[in-house]
Amino acid sequence: MATHHGKDAVVHIGGTNIGQATGFTVDTTHDVVEDTALGSSMKSFVVGRGTFTASIDMNFDDDDTAQGNLTQGATVSVEFMPEGSGSGEQKLSGSGIVTGMSVGVTLDGVTTRTVSLQGTGGLTIGTV
């Protein structure tokens, strides 16, 4: 089993690399719907609808174009590359609506930004 170091990961917004990205999380879920018939002693289910959410952590950079596109309510295309952007590496891509942003400031630290996305449509799992 191969492992990967986070330093290789890349995030694109609208095809542009997010400068100062420090991490991301992509969560996928799928609903299930019960379809158990009367008289059955065990429940059964069918697959319902799915969705994904994501959060992107970064060092705040107001000169970065990709960061500037991450405004509340904006719909953006996203590409998450956890292994890096080399040919054949895994890529998670889709479209999402920016649902929130937080900016963190400490007295003696780097100013940070975290953006939350709600996927709209499917998340494609492919390769670069």
pLDDT attached to residue 80: 97
- Which of 71, 74, 76, 115 is closest to 93 using CA atoms? 76
Q: State the fold for domain 6-29+48-127.
A: Elongation Factor Tu (Ef-tu); domain 3 (2.40.30)
| pLDDT, tens digit, 9 for 90 and up, residues 60-105 | 999 999 999 999 999 999 999 999 999 999 999 999 999 999 999 9
Tokens of 123: 């998340």
Q: Residue ranges of the domains in the chain?
A: 6-29+48-127
Residue 48 has pLDDT above 80, yes or no: yes
Contact of 116 with 55, CB cutoff 8 Å: yes
Say what the pTM is: 0.89
Quick check: helix, strand or coil at residue 67?
helix
